[in-house]
Every structure is written in structure tokens, then in C-alpha cells.
Structure 1
């Protein structure tokens, strides 16, 4: 099973996993494309309230995987955790169709996400031997696959929500989650076998397999990425609000739906990932491959440049509407930076994961996303206190700060990585 290649030279199980997550991302991005608009236009919340709730929800959705990863590793198993989590999430998305259940629906989605999110990407790593050179590239292939859902969601759910009612858009997001669940259940035979063991003290495994230096470096990476996400997560928050109120969306006699701009990020992910993978592969073959943290630092710096573009657009407009082409250029540059940092970070955490703590270690990456999303909500609440140009310049400064921190961590990470590799070798020989 593991040697059978049907997708970019990778096992069939990778196709099942990214199709499953493609529809989960369809449901998530479909709901996210509507969420801030729904709160400000339907529930009549203030911008500050909507931004804070948006940040709190996305933070909660990435906090629950910390507990869900432990449950999956110690008791449920990854497959059962994914099936239960997807079912709970689908229920939450359907609840979003009713105003009275709004906050309960957000909590339900976050709860289901806790079981689903850490277990699925950790199964990607299980498809490969630890020495398989394809293992690192698999996360980029997985990343582009799931962004198909992110691309379709604003076009479908967003358009339906804008034109026919927010609740119909939320209902479509629920249907997407059900499709993901069906694909996962139908593709079980292509997934790696799962072995369960008697629960043992968690700290024993972590101490043996990771080591203090590696843990400290991962904490440092987590802090740097938290700062990065405080800027990056504005895409569905203040950038979405700006697309509605500060961007001239006319194209001839037609006005581009505001939710459609949310499709640009996943579209560019799909278009740019193949050439970037080819470029990195050539560098690896030539022996000049970039260290993971250097690559991540470059990505954060590129995202800083993207926000500088928006800052420039805001200053040039001087209170008038900005042409929509600035927003397209922003998403293009932002996506290039994202591809340098986010798949690399996820792959780094998954690579360092102890074999029996795969979901738990990947959940630590989502703890970073939790902290970053919460920070993004707090930063987003400042939107109404700044002029757009100044606010986007602040976001550029946050991304640049993250780049500096990641660059400084490269040396300690290489040392910790050598220690970890030595520990894995020793464990294999024991």
C-alpha cells in the first residue's frame, strides 16, 4: 500500500487525506468568508466586537486540538477521532443557519475541530518511513490539495450568503463537512494501519523522544509564529472589512462580490506550490537547500512586504476607495510568504514528533495557531482606531519582527535537530 504512487508520486492515502481536508477547509473557509459580515450586517455587532469574536472563535478552534490530540493518541485512535470530530463539526455548521444557536454553533465547531485537526495531518506522516525523502514534500502536496476547498468556499458559500441569505451559505458549509466525512470513511483501506497502546505518562515519551533543547527551540518557534499569525490572520478579519468598505470593487458595470477576494489566497496556493516545490527540489539536488527556519523567516518577511503594499494603497487613497487590483497583488505576495512559512512549520513539528505522540505534537503546532488567532483578534479590534495605511503598516512590522525571531533561532534549531536525529538513530538500534 505505502509504495503505491497515484498522486505526485505519493501513496494513495495522501489523496484520501487531502480530499477529506479539502472539504473540511471548504466548510471552514465558507463559514469564515461570511462570519465577520454576518456579525456586522445581520447581528449588528460593532466592528470591535466582531473582530474580537472572530479572533476568539478561531483561537478556540485551534486550542481544542491540544486536548483532542491527546485523546486521539491515548484512547480514541486517529481514525475514530477524525470521524467523531467531523460529525460534531458538521452539526455545528448546520446550527449556524439559526441565529439563536450562533454562539453554541461556534463552540460546537471548535469542539469537533479539536478531534479532527491534529489527527489528519499526523496521518500524512504515518504514510511514510521516517527516512523517506518524500515525507517533507508530502506536506506541501497536502497543503495545495486542501486549498482547493478554500478556493471554492468563498465563491460558493460566499456568493450564496451574499445574494440569498447568510444562513444558506452556512448550510452549504455544513454539506461540505459531510462530504469530507464520507470520503474519509470510504478511503479507509488506503490509510496506514493504526496501533494502539496502553496509556503511559505523557511526559516520559516527550522527554525521551524530544529532549529539552528541542522543546525549548520549538517553544521559541511557536512564539515567533504567534507574532506572525497576529498579522496573517487579519485576512479574514480586518482585510475582509476593508474589502467591503475601502475597496472599489467595480469591474465595468459589475461589482465583484466582497467574499470572492477570500478565494484569491487558496487559488494562489494552488498555482504557486508546484513551481516553488520544483525550485526547492532543484536547490536540494544542488546541495544548497535552505534550512527550514531560514525559509520560514523569508516567508514572514515576504508577508511583511504584502502588508506594506496595503499600507501604500491606504496612504495613496487618502480616504477614497482603493482599486481592487491592490488587493489582488496583496494576496499574491501574501501567499508566496505563506508557502514559505506555514507548511514548513507544520512539517517541522510533524517530523520531530515521537511515533506514539504524532497527534499530540502536531497539536502543539495548533496551540501556536490558537495563540496567534487570539492575538489577531486583539490586534484587529484596533482597526477602527487607525487609518488603514497606519494599521497595515503595524501588521507589516509584526510580520517583520517574526522574521527576525525565526532567523535568530536557526542555529539553536540545527543543533537540536542533530540531537534529535541522534536520538532517533539510537532508539532504532536499541
Structure 2
């Protein structure tokens, strides 16, 4: 375990990890906030005029084989979906490599510096796709191994652990709030590469904090050998464990459609923010990327309030079940996109109030709070102990497919009427809600009534 010195009642290592993750999320969201705008407004337009971008022609031909000729916006949506999807896919393998071979500390260093290289490579247009590859692989090493170190600061049964993850989660969202304000402004007002460069600086700050604050982190860690892993898995699962596993897998996979809608915030909703939202504030044109700070701000403000609401409901025996919460989240997501449907009807081809976008994003964020932390909790709570890590991988695998769905559906943004496009997304979010309600009895029985 780490040294026993504390700050605000928690080990000092928690705050090392807090600021490490805050700046890493600053770098990730700082790059993501500019990604679709960069591709649609500059990079792929330059490629059409003969600028060499390594791998562009091959990837365009590959995607064209499946989807035919694509516009710049459709191609950008596909790249966005593939990139954000693979960001959720690689941590499964990064966690396995850390557990068996490298350990968490080395994996964080490797991942962090790979990501920093990726951000700085974005400064060279020709290296756009290698830059994305560095970011994807780096995140695979970094993401699963920074979060698990939070738990390593506390002994089993330490009641401060839940509070520690809440503090850590705030660090994630603080980074997500800052990045559109800094990277987004630099990218839109000064130059794309200034924004990407700021994201790279954020990643270097993250690694510097991790390195110099490392003395407060656990000095030793348990790395499982392949034989140890195999030794814990030799017993077959019971019928009850198989039932739970099937139910959990179904629950995870149903959320794919919701994530396909939710991730439009960085894709088509950002395009709406840029093209069809009036950002003039007393003569000053606010960068449209600032809109992406609203989601993490709502999380910070409302997550504690929602937690208290559920605690109050539980006190009187009226708390909704896990499955009901997730169903309600999907319905809220559908309502959020209905707001955008009415925005498209009223705004038409012009520009409308920012309140349409913020209202929709507020509802979509509340939907996230009913699904994401609840899903993570139920996976860790009811998964058979011998496969809990694998089931967490299944949860993130659903996010991988969901992000790809976000890229695929986003291809229709230009070809469909905007009102019909938002209505399509509302329907996609409603589908898992209906499935959760329909399968409520089976899922609650399979997973356990206590959830």
C-alpha cells in the first residue's frame, strides 16, 4: 500500500491520480471536440484537392466498398465512429497486458507517452491517421490502469473507497469542461494545430503529475502470471452464474443503440452547434465547441443530486430497480432527440437559439446518469467473481459498437431532412428502453432482486 499520509481524509495518491486523469481527459476531449470540424471544414477538403494524407485513399476505398461514394461529412462521421469506438475497444487488451506482463505503472507511462505523440502528430496533416492510431493504442494502455490504481490506495472494506471514485470522477469531468474552452477556442479561433497542440501539452502535464506524484502511489502491485489466471478459472460456472452472465451480456448489448445516440454530441450535434446555432453574445462570437463543456458541467452539478434522490427513494422503499433506471435513461435519451426534432422544424435551414441544443444535451446527460454509472455498478456487483474483468470488457465492448453506430448513423445527417434525422435517433434510443421494460421481470430475477 501507499504511504499513510492523507489530505482531506484520503491518501495523497488519490489527488495524484485525480490530476493525472483530469489532464488526460483534457487532452482526449480537447482533441475530440475538434475532430469532426477539422475533418469536415479542412482536412478532407484538402485531401479532395490533392493534399497527401497517408492512408486516406486506402481507407476511403475500403469504406467505399461497403457504403459506396461518401461525402466529406459522411466520411468524417465514419472516421469519428471508428476512432471513438476503438478507444473503448483497446482497454480490454491493455488491461490484460498490464495484469500479465507490464503492471499498471509501466502501462500508464507507455499509454500516456503514446497518446502525447499522437496529439503532436496531429500537427502534420499527412500523419492524421497514424496520429489516431497512436491515440487509440495509448488509450488502451492508459485508461484501464489509471482507474484501478484508485482502488489500490485502500484496504478491503475501507468505506472511503466509494467517495474516492466520486472524487476521481469529478476530475474526469473537470478536464472535459476545460478542454472545449481551451482547445476548442484555440482550434477554431487561432488554428487547428494550436488546439491539437494544447491537447498534447495537457497529456504531458498529466504524465508529469503522475511521475512526480508517484511516491504517493502503491509501490508494489500484484501482476498475475498466465498460470495464476488459468488456475482461478478451472472450476466450471454454476447454472446461476451462467444465468447471470447471459442476463448481464444482454443488458450490456441492449445499450448499444443508446450509445449510438449519445455519442452524436461529438459528431452531428457538434455540426448543428457550428452550423445552425446562433452563438453571438453581445457582438462576440462564442466558439461552437464550447457547447461540449455543458455535458460534463451537468454531470458535476446533478450527479450528486440524483444520488441523493435515489437514496431518499430507497429509504421509503420506492427506489426504481437497476433495469427500470436504465429503461428510464433510454426514454430520456429519446425525449432529448425529440427536442432536436422540434428545433429542426422551427429553425429550418437557418440558425436558432442555443437553448435548443442545451436543453437536448441536458436531457441526454440525465439519461447518461441513469445508464452509465448504473451499468458499471451492476456489472461489478453481480458478475461471477472469476469473470468480472471479462464482463467489464463486455460493457466496454457495447460502448465500442455504440460508437461505431454513432458514426454509421451520422452518415445520414446530410442526406435526410434534419427533423427526420433527429426523429430517427429518438427512435434508436427508445428501442432499448422498450426492451428493458419488456424484459424487466427476466432481468431482475436473473441478476437478483437486490439490484
Instruction: Name the TM-score class by shorter chain.
Output: 0.7 to 0.9
Counterpart CA distance in 2 for 1:130 and 1:293 is: 28
Cα 1:207–1:195 change in 2 (3 A) is farther
Q: 1:215 and 2:245 equivalent? A: yes
Counterpart CA distance in 1 for 2:288 and 2:423 is: 23
Post-superposition offset of 1:48: 0.5
Q: 1:119 and 2:110 equivalent? A: no
What residue in structure 1 maps to residue 426 of structure 2?
396
What residue in structure 1 maps to residue 414 of structure 2?
384
Q: Tell me, yes or no, if the aligned pair for 1:227 and 1:399 is still in contact at 8 Å.
A: yes
Q: Could you list the runs of 5+ residues in structure 2 that have no partner in the other structure?
A: 46-71
What residue in structure 2 maps to residue 69 of structure 1?
95
Computed over aligned residues only, the root mean square deviation of the Cα atoms, in angstroms, reads 2.9
Cα 1:332–1:372 change in 2 (3 A) is same
Cα 1:138–1:315 change in 2 (3 A) is farther
SS at match of 1:183: helix
What residue in structure 2 maps to residue 197 of structure 1?
224
What residue in structure 2 maps to residue 38 of structure 1?
38
What residue in structure 2 maps to residue 276 of structure 1?
306
SS at match of 1:44: helix
SS at match of 2:221: coil
Q: TM-score, normalised on structure 1?
A: 0.88
Q: Tell me, yes or no, if the aligned pair for 2:241 and 2:384 is still in contact at 8 Å.
A: no
What residue in structure 2 maps to residue 18 of structure 1?
18
Cα 1:369–1:244 change in 2 (3 A) is same
Post-superposition offset of 1:30: 0.3
What residue in structure 1 maps to residue 372 of structure 2?
342
Higher mean Cα deviation, 239-248 or 76-85? Answer: 76-85
Cα 1:221–1:13 change in 2 (3 A) is farther
Higher mean Cα deviation, 325-334 or 152-161? Answer: 325-334
Counterpart CA distance in 1 for 2:15 and 2:235 is: 30
Q: Tell me, yes or no, if the aligned pair for 2:176 and 2:296 is still in contact at 8 Å.
A: yes
Q: Tell me, yes or no, if the aligned pair for 1:122 and 1:359 is still in contact at 8 Å.
A: no
Post-superposition offset of 1:191: 4.0
Deviations 1:203-251 (A, max 9, x none): 9279659932222122112211111111001000000111111112222
Question: What is the number of residues matched between the two proteins?
Answer: 420
Post-superposition offset of 1:376: 0.8
Give matches, 1:334-373, under 5 Å: 334-352=364-382, 360-373=390-403
Q: Could you list the runs of 5+ residues in structure 1 that have no partner in the other structure?
A: 422-430
What residue in structure 1 maps to residue 177 of structure 2?
151
Counterpart CA distance in 1 for 2:348 and 2:393 is: 43
Post-superposition offset of 1:182: 2.3
Higher mean Cα deviation, 135-144 or 395-404? Answer: 135-144
Q: Tell me, yes or no, if the aligned pair for 2:323 and 2:444 is still in contact at 8 Å.
A: no
Counterpart CA distance in 2 for 1:134 and 1:231 is: 35
Counterpart CA distance in 2 for 1:355 and 1:122 is: 16
Residue from 114, 119, 143 that aligns with 1:88: 114
Deviations 1:319-360 (A, max 9, x none): 322211211212222211112211222233344567787655
